[in-house]
Structure 1
């Protein structure tokens, strides 16, 4: 999915198995890289830190660095 600069960023609450949309949008931003992640492609997040990650590698590095 191609993102445009005016596309709304969603606000989510991340749960252990899924997420809940609190503010509608079509993407979230990776907590590490700032890259937009379309909601349909979002696979990696931290429940305890309430952050989204663009890839498994980024999530692993972020969570082991804390």
Structure 2
């Protein structure tokens, strides 16, 4: 579990093959579940919506909502 003491949310710009840190921090918040995602664990995001996701399942679910 993530220890929130001293942790700060990062602000990122998501690109097709990576992300750029705009404001340093240790985590981002999943756009669907609200779960904190450590930056080193961030694997799923949507470039067009500029949203991070906690898992492949959540990312797919969000993608299907758009269809």
Q: Normalization by structure 1: what TM-score? A: 0.94
Structure 2 segments unaligned to the other structure (5+ residues): none
User: Does the Cα contact within 8 Å between 1:3 and 1:36 map onto a contact in 2?
Assistant: no
Instruction: Report the 3-state secondary structure (helix = DSSP H, G, I; strand = E; otherwise coil) of the residue aligned with 1:40.
Output: helix
Cα distance in structure 2, aligned partners of 1:7 and 1:39? 12
Q: CA RMSD in A?
A: 1.2
Stretches (4+) displaced over 3 A:
none
Cα distance in structure 2, aligned partners of 1:50 and 1:7? 22
Residues 1-66 of structure 1: pairs in structure 2 closer than 5 A: 2-4=2-4, 6-66=6-66
TM-superposed deviation, 1:6: 4.2
Structure 1 segments unaligned to the other structure (5+ residues): none
Q: Normalization by structure 2: what TM-score? A: 0.92
